[in-house]
Amino acid sequence: MGVPTAQGMAPKAVVLLSGGLDSATVLAQAREQGYACHALSLHYGQRHSAELDAARRVAAALGAVRHEVIQLDLARFGGSALTDTTLDVPVTGPQNGIPVTYVPARNTVMLALALSWAEALGARDLFYGANAVDYSGYPDCRPEFVAAFERLANLATKAGVEGQPMRVHAPIIHLSKAQIIREGLRLGVDYALTVSCYQADARGRACGRCDSCRIRAAGFAEAGVVDPTQYKTAD
């Protein structure tokens, strides 16, 4: 459980919430640990708004104290198939190297915003759904990155310098997708509320072909759980 404050109130935490399976699970974990969860999502110019709609549903369902959606148009920089519609989202299987769906420095930017909000709130804990097992090879989902950002957080903040260390939690980083799903179900996560697809339509229906869809579907199959994902081909 989270450590109570001196006043006996639940400690605050900022949880990055994309609207996908992983971040929903992490929000549920932070809540179980006793944190008053402040969820943060980023409208960064992604191809669709379905995942932000999902984030709002998940934040409400899992009892976030507050949910903020920050507008920051990373699409102006380009460099990713998730923000540049002239680039195709790969649908032919795993890619060699870091895939074109990587958004340059996205997690660094999001964690920096979360850090700013956390310090303003008097929170000392950040949570995000990094995963280094069943994932697409993004460099900002590795344990080394998490550890490095935590060091930065304690060098760059008044709280850290004054001896109130900031902590970056990535509780699912070493779990397989099946393990994440089982953990979420234990915590009561309704995965039908989430959207993981890189190119979901306005109704939140998944393509079933992109890397994220394949990893998600394989996780449900391995967990032996019915996949609640709605696909575009359902019509």
177 part of a folded domain: yes
Q: Annotated binding residue at 37?
A: no
Evaluate whether 199 touches 47 at the Cβ level (below 8 Å). Answer: yes
170 part of a folded domain: yes
Q: Annotated binding residue at 62?
A: no
d(CA 125, CA 122): 9
Q: Annotated binding residue at 17?
A: yes
In 3D space, the residue among 203, 183, 224, 208 whose CA is nearest the CA of residue 21 turns out to be 183
Q: Annotated binding residue at 168?
A: no
Q: Annotated binding residue at 196?
A: no
d(CA 135, CA 130): 9
Q: Annotated binding residue at 23?
A: yes
Q: Annotated binding residue at 213?
A: yes
Question: Quick one: pLDDT at residue 233?
Answer: 67
Structural domain including 143 reads 12-234
Q: Annotated binding residue at 13?
A: no
The alpha carbon of residue 140 and the mean position of all alpha carbons in its chain are separated, in whole angstroms, by 12
Q: Annotated binding residue at 39?
A: no
44 part of a folded domain: yes
Helix (H, G, I), strand (E, B) or coil at 226: coil
122 part of a folded domain: yes
Question: Quick one: pLDDT at residue 134?
Answer: 74
Q: Annotated binding residue at 210?
A: yes
Question: Quick one: pLDDT at residue 117?
Answer: 98
1 part of a folded domain: no
d(CA 7, CA 212): 43
What single string gives the DSSP state of each residue in 15-61? EE--SSHHHHHHHHHHHHTT-EEEEEEEE-S-S-SHHHHHHHHHHHH
For the chain, 235 residues long, the average pLDDT of each consecutive 10-residue run is 55 97 98 98 90 97 98 93 92 81 95 98 97 85 96 97 97 97 98 95 93 94 96 69
Q: Annotated binding residue at 176?
A: no
Q: Annotated binding residue at 27?
A: yes
**Phi-psi category of residue 71: left, alpha or beta, with phi > 0 → left and psi -120 to 50 → alpha:** beta
d(CA 11, CA 54): 25
CATH label of the domain that carries residue 208: 3.40.50.620
**Element (H or E) spanning 110, and its range?**
helix 106-121
The alpha carbon of residue 20 and the mean position of all alpha carbons in its chain are separated, in whole angstroms, by 6
Q: Annotated binding residue at 72?
A: no
Q: Annotated binding residue at 26?
A: yes
43 part of a folded domain: yes
The structural domain count of the chain equals 1
Q: Annotated binding residue at 19?
A: yes
Structural tokens at position 137: 């090879």
Question: Quick one: pLDDT at residue 8?
Answer: 58
